[in-house]
Structure 1
Amino acid sequence: MITLEEQQLREHLVVEEITFAIPAQSFAISCAISAEEALPVVTEFALRIAYVCGTLSPAQIQDFFGFSKKETDAVLKSLLDERLLQWNDEHLELTTYALARFQDSSDNLPRFFKIQDWSAEVVFDLISFSPAGRPNRLKRVRSQIELATRNLDKQSRTRQYAEQSFQQNFRQICTKEKAEIYKISAIDAGERFSIPLPCTFHLDLGGQTSIRRNIDDESFGSRLEISEAITDALASQERGDNECFRDFIQTFDDTLLQSYVTGDAFDLRRYAQEVHLTRFVRPVDDRVTPMLGALYLPRNAGLLLERIQAAVAQLDTRFEHEPPSTEGTEADTKEAAKTTHPAQWEALWWAPQSPLWARTRSARDLAQKIERLMAPQGGERISTGLHVVVPTARRSPRERLAVYQDQFSRLLAADVVLMGGSLELLLVPDALVCAMFHFNLAHNATAVPIGFMSSAPEHIASAGALVSARMRGRSDSVTAAREEGGSALIDSLAQLMARLMPPREVDADGSTKGGRVRLTLKK
C-alpha cells in the first residue's frame, strides 16, 4: 500500500497510459450445492433450550412461548418429524443428528444444510483463469494491446481450466454463506470477448531512472500471470532511439532542454525534478509551457484544451476587429475574408512511430474534445476538425490504420516520419503547437514524451515548416483510413500542408531561418 504522498508523486510523473485487452470467456455453470438453511425462530429456540437444559417437556415449550396446546402440538410434531427431537420417557431431548449440528458449530448455534440447485454465468479471464466478476465486455478493439497466455494448453482446454478454477474459487463466486459444491452437473462454454485493463506508466526517479507500471484494478493488479502477459506484450514492441534529440533541441531552439544535456547524456531525472516537480526552473516566456508525458493524460489534456480554446477565442476576436484589406478586386477581398477568418478551425496531430502511442480511450476522448472546439457549431465539412496522421515506416499503411480506426474520425497514414519517428506534433495553425520528443530509456519499452506547448508564432512556424518540408512531393504516400470520403480527406490534408508552409525561407532540414522565441531559464 503506497502513501498519499507517493500517490501524488506518481500522478505528477505519469508519462503514458495504455489499455490492454485481456481475453475472457463466459461459462454457464449448473451444480448442486450444500447451503446453510435458516431454521424457523421457534424451532431454533426450542433446540437451543434442549441443548442447554439437556431435556425439556412439552409444558415447558408451551409456557416459554405462550402457545396454546394446539400450537405446541404442531411445533412438537415438526421437531419429531424432522428428527431433531426424540422422546426419552416423558421428556424430549436432542437426537444424535441435532446434537451434531451444535457440536460442529463454533458458536454453539445449530447449523443445518440442505442440497439445492445453483446456476449462474461465470466469467474467467483466459490467462490466469480467475473469476472476473462482471467486467466491461468488448469485442476486439484493435487500439488495445491484446494479451496472450504463456501456457498454450489453456487456450485449447478452456472448459477444463474453468471447472478447476470454479472449484478453487467457489466461495468467491457464490455469495451464499458457507455454501459448498456438492456436484457439478454442467459447464457450457459461452462467448469470448475482451476485458479492458488500463495501465499507467510513471517515472521512477529513485536509483537509476526507469519507468514503472501501475494497474489500479483489484481484480487483475496482483495476478502474476497478467503481469507476465503485459511484460511479454511490451517486449514484442518496436523501440525507438534518441538519435534525433539534438535535432529537436536545435529545431525549436530549446535552451531549457539543452541545459540538461552534458556531452551525449540527457539528465532526465534532474529535468523532471526541477521543471515538473518543484518547478524551480521555468521558461521566461509565458506563452511556453514545458510538457511531460502523453498529451492525452488527464493533466496534459486539460491544459491543452484550455489553451486551444483560449487561442481560438483570441484569434476570433482579432479577426472580428481586423477586417481584411479592401485593396484589390472584390473577389480577392471575399476570398481573403474566407481564409483568414474561419468559422471552423482545423488542426494536425502527427503521431510518433511508436506502436504504443494512443493505445487508450483517453486519446480518443481528447481528439473528440478538440474536434468540438474546432467546430463549436457542429460543422460537417471534412476539411475542418482534427487530422490525425500516423507514420507507416516499417509497417503497411493498412496495418497501422487498422490499429487506430476506432480512435480517430479523420485518420490518415503517411510514409513520412518526423525526426526518425520520435517527434509528435499537435498543431493548430496560427494558434498553438505541442512538440513532444519521445525519449527512450534503456531496457524500457515505453518512451517518455518531453517537450513543450507554445502559442509563440515562431514555434508554430517552425513546426509547420518541418512538416510541410517533409511532406513536399510526398502526397502519393498518404492513405486515408476509410474509402468513403478518403479522397476528400487527403485533399484536405494537402490544403492544410500548404497552409503550414511559412512565407519565409526554409532550410533543407525543415527548420526555419530567422528569430525564434528562446526557452530561457528562469530560476
Structure 2
Amino acid sequence: MMEFVINEATYSLPCRSFIIDYAVSERRKLAVVKEFAIRLLYSLKGITPEKIAGYFGFTADEMQVVLASLQEEKLIKWDDGNVELTSYAYDRFEEVDGKAEPRFFEVEDKMDSVTFDLLSFRLIAESSSGSVSPNNMEIPLPKDAMASLTEKAKAAFDQQFNVFIEKAKGIDTYTESVELYKINQVYNRNDRLLPVSVKYVVTAESCNSPEIRYADEWMEEWDEDRSLFSAISTQTESVGHKQNCLDLTSLEEYVSFTHDPIILDFYRDQEVDFYAALKAYEANKGLFELETRMLVGGIHLGRNSDLIRSLLDYKFGDEAKIPGKGILWSVDPSDKVWGRGPELEAFIQTLEQRLDERRKPVGTILSVSVQSNEEAFKTREMYGITKCKFQGLNKQIVNGQVEILLIPEVLVACTFHFPIENHYPLSLPIGFVTTVESRVKYIEENLVAVFNNPANTNSHFERINVEEDDMVLNSRVKKLFR
C-alpha cells in the first residue's frame, strides 16, 4: 500500500528552561568488611567487640578502626559493652528472596538545566530533527500558561523525575537506584522554541482521512495524551476560510488554464475519484508519458521534488545546468498549511543551483494574492527565509486552489488543491509535471498574458519610492519570459 505525503509542516512549541537545584539519594554498597559486620550484628542483635574480632580474625586495632567507622555513619551503638545496630541501620534491611539484605543510600546535591514545554509541562529530554524558522507555525498556549512557572516546573520535575534520569541523564533505573530526595530551588533560565515537524499522510483507501505523524518517533510516545495534536489542529483551523466541498467551476478553470492531461481521467459523475487516481499512481509510479508525470501532494515535497529533479536530469543531463532564467511560483498559501517548514527552502535552493549563471537568472519569484501592504508584510515574514522575490496579485492566478511552478522553456508543475471534507485546512493536491515543450509553452503563454495585464498585479510587496523599472514585475517577472 503506497503512502502519499500530501503536506509537511513544522510547528514551534514554546518551551522554557529552568535551573533546578536538587538532591538525590543513591543506593550505595558498604565496604565488604563493614557489610559483613552489619549482617553479623543484625543476626545476633548484640555482641562484644572481642567476639566480632574473633569471628573475622581482626586484631584489636583493626577492630577499633572498623567500629569507629560504623559509629561515624550512625550504624552501631553501644549498650553495656556490647555493640548493637542503630534503628537507622535496622531500617535499611529489606526482605529479598526470603533473606534480609542491607540497603544503604547516600544523598548528593546536584544542579541541572531542565526544559519543559509550556503547553502541557512535559519534560523535553530529546532533540528534534526540525529547525526553528520564521515560517514555522507557532502553537498557541492557554491563557494561564505563563503563570507560576517555577512552581509548575518544581511539580513537573518531581512527577517526571524518572523520565529525566533515564532520558536526560542516561541512567538505567533497573540497575541503578536513584531517587529524588528533595528539590532545593528552581530558577528561570530562558525561553526557547521546539520545532515539531509533522507529515500529513494518505493512502488510496484513506484519501479522505489524512493521518498526522510526527517526524520524530520519540514524540509519538511523548505526546501520549495527544494534547499537542489537539493544539496543532486548533492552530491550523484558525487560519483562512473553510471550504469543504469541491468547486467544479474552480476545477474547470484549472483544466482550461493548464490543460492538465491526467486529472480528467478520474472525473466521473461530476466528482473526482480520488481512490482511482491514487491507485493509478500506485500502479505506474505516476508515469503518464516519458516527460510527463502525475503529482500527488505538495510540489516541493520529497517524492515530487525527486521526480522533478529526475525529469531535469533526463532532459538536460545529470545535475546539469538548465537554460531557464528563473522560477515563477504561483500559489495561494492563505488557507493551507503550505510551505511552513524547511522543505520549501531546500527545494528552492535545489532548483536555483541548476540555473545557468551565464543567463543571469532572476531567482525565484513567489506570486501571491495580497490586498494590502500589511498582508504583504505578513506573507514576506512567513516565507522571506526562502530568499524569494515576491510579486503581488489582485487575485490569484486562475483561482486560490491552483498552484503552478514554471521554469520558462524548461518545466512546469501544476496541481489543483482539492479540499478534504472536515479536515480543513488540509488539501489533496493532484496534478502533473512536464518537460514537454508544447505543454510548457502553453502555460507559459497564459502566464505572460496574466502579468502583461496591469489589472492583475499590484505593488504591495515593493519598497517605498522604488523606481518602476526596479519593481519585481519589470526587473524579474517579465525578464523570465524574454
Relative to the length of structure 2, the TM-score reads 0.82
1:260 corresponds, among 259, 266, 271, to: 266
Which letter does structure 2 place at the counterpart of 1:462? Y
User: What is residue 278 of structure 1 aligned with on the other side?
Assistant: 283
Whether 2:309 is the aligned partner of 1:305: answer yes
Whether 2:102 is the aligned partner of 1:110: answer yes
User: What is residue 498 of structure 1 aligned with on the other side?
Assistant: 481
Return the alpha-carbon distance in structure 2 between the equivalents of residues 491 and 89 of structure 1. Answer: 105
Q: Deviations over 1:108-159 (max 9, x none)?
A: 542223443222221111111111125469997431111113x312233333
The 8 Å contact of residues 36 and 112 in structure 1, kept in 2 or not, is answered as: yes
Return the alpha-carbon distance in structure 2 between the equivalents of residues 160 and 492 of structure 1. Answer: 57
User: What is residue 172 of structure 1 aligned with on the other side?
Assistant: 163
Return the alpha-carbon distance in structure 1 between the equivalents of residues 49 and 291 of structure 2. Answer: 93
The 8 Å contact of residues 242 and 422 in structure 1, kept in 2 or not, is answered as: no
Q: Flag structure 2 segments of 5+ consecutive residues without an equivalent.
A: none
User: What is residue 396 of structure 2 aligned with on the other side?
Assistant: 417
Return the alpha-carbon distance in structure 2 between the equivalents of residues 280 and 185 of structure 1. Answer: 61
Q: Which moved more, 1:138-147 or 1:60-69?
A: 60-69
Whether 2:203 is the aligned partner of 1:225: answer no
3-state DSSP of counterpart to 1:396: helix
The 8 Å contact of residues 139 and 194 in structure 1, kept in 2 or not, is answered as: no
User: What is residue 461 of structure 1 aligned with on the other side?
Assistant: 441
Return the alpha-carbon distance in structure 1 between the equivalents of residues 355 and 58 of structure 2. Answer: 81
The 8 Å contact of residues 131 and 195 in structure 2, kept in 1 or not, is answered as: no
Return the alpha-carbon distance in structure 1 between the equivalents of residues 359 and 22 of structure 2. Answer: 56
Q: Deviations over 1:470-513 (max 9, x none)?
A: 222338514547789993644332334533xxxxxxxxxxxxxx
Q: Deviations over 1:333-389 (max 9, x none)?
A: xxxxxxxx95x74222222344421001111111112121225x7x895x4333333
Does the C-alpha gap of structure 1 residues 313 and 206 become closer, same or farther in structure 2, counting only changes over 3 Å?
Answer: closer
Return the alpha-carbon distance in structure 2 between the equivalents of residues 66 and 485 of structure 1. Answer: 99
Q: Percent identity?
A: 22
User: What is residue 19 of structure 1 aligned with on the other side?
Assistant: 10
User: What is residue 3 of structure 1 aligned with on the other side?
Assistant: none
The 8 Å contact of residues 311 and 432 in structure 1, kept in 2 or not, is answered as: no
1:477 corresponds, among 445, 455, 458, to: 458
Return the alpha-carbon distance in structure 1 between the equivalents of residues 466 and 23 of structure 2. Answer: 58
Shift of 1:421: 1.5
Whether 2:75 is the aligned partner of 1:84: answer yes
3-state DSSP of counterpart to 2:343: helix
Whether 2:377 is the aligned partner of 1:398: answer yes
Matches within 5 A, 1:175-324: 175=169, 177-206=176-205, 209-217=208-216, 218-219=218-219, 220-238=222-240, 239-240=242-243, 242-243=246-247, 244-275=250-281, 277-279=282-284, 282-283=287-288, 285-313=289-317
C-alpha RMSD of the superposition: 3.7
The 8 Å contact of residues 16 and 294 in structure 1, kept in 2 or not, is answered as: yes
The 8 Å contact of residues 197 and 214 in structure 2, kept in 1 or not, is answered as: yes
Return the alpha-carbon distance in structure 2 between the equivalents of residues 62 and 431 of structure 1. Answer: 95
Q: Which moved more, 1:244-253 or 1:54-63?
A: 54-63
Does the C-alpha gap of structure 1 residues 415 and 57 become closer, same or farther in structure 2, counting only changes over 3 Å?
Answer: farther
User: What is residue 352 of structure 2 aligned with on the other side?
Assistant: 371
The 8 Å contact of residues 289 and 453 in structure 1, kept in 2 or not, is answered as: yes
Which letter does structure 2 place at the counterpart of 1:162? A
Does the C-alpha gap of structure 1 residues 44 and 411 become closer, same or farther in structure 2, counting only changes over 3 Å?
Answer: farther
Does the C-alpha gap of structure 1 residues 498 and 104 become closer, same or farther in structure 2, counting only changes over 3 Å?
Answer: same
3-state DSSP of counterpart to 2:415: strand
Whether 2:439 is the aligned partner of 1:439: answer no
The 8 Å contact of residues 37 and 113 in structure 1, kept in 2 or not, is answered as: yes
1:426 corresponds, among 402, 405, 420, to: 405
1:356 corresponds, among 337, 349, 366, to: 337
The 8 Å contact of residues 133 and 341 in structure 2, kept in 1 or not, is answered as: no
Return the alpha-carbon distance in structure 1 between the equivalents of residues 117 and 251 of structure 2. Answer: 41
Q: Deviations over 1:383-425 (max 9, x none)?
A: 4333333332687211211111123344444334122111112
Q: Deviations over 1:204-247 (max 9, x none)?
A: 54478222211243244424321210110121122456431123
Return the alpha-carbon distance in structure 1 between the equivalents of residues 271 and 286 of structure 2. Answer: 19
Which letter does structure 1 place at the counterpart of 2:192? F
Q: Which moved more, 1:264-273 or 1:202-211?
A: 202-211
Matches within 5 A, 1:502-513: none
Return the alpha-carbon distance in structure 2 between the equivalents of residues 463 and 62 of structure 1. Answer: 100
The 8 Å contact of residues 412 and 440 in structure 2, kept in 1 or not, is answered as: yes
- Which structure has greater strand proportion? 2
Q: Which moved more, 1:189-198 or 1:40-49?
A: 40-49
The 8 Å contact of residues 347 and 386 in structure 1, kept in 2 or not, is answered as: yes
The 8 Å contact of residues 370 and 386 in structure 1, kept in 2 or not, is answered as: no
Whether 2:114 is the aligned partner of 1:122: answer yes
Return the alpha-carbon distance in structure 2 between the equivalents of residues 138 and 190 of structure 1. Answer: 23
Which letter does structure 2 place at the counterpart of 1:392? V
Return the alpha-carbon distance in structure 2 between the equivalents of residues 52 and 453 of structure 1. Answer: 84
3-state DSSP of counterpart to 2:6: strand
Relative to the length of structure 1, the TM-score reads 0.76
Does the C-alpha gap of structure 1 residues 314 and 93 become closer, same or farther in structure 2, counting only changes over 3 Å?
Answer: closer
User: What is residue 31 of structure 1 aligned with on the other side?
Assistant: 22
Does the C-alpha gap of structure 1 residues 83 and 424 become closer, same or farther in structure 2, counting only changes over 3 Å?
Answer: same
Which letter does structure 2 place at the counterpart of 1:493? R
The 8 Å contact of residues 17 and 297 in structure 1, kept in 2 or not, is answered as: yes
Which letter does structure 2 place at the counterpart of 1:388? L
Which letter does structure 2 place at the counterpart of 1:172? V
The 8 Å contact of residues 15 and 448 in structure 1, kept in 2 or not, is answered as: yes
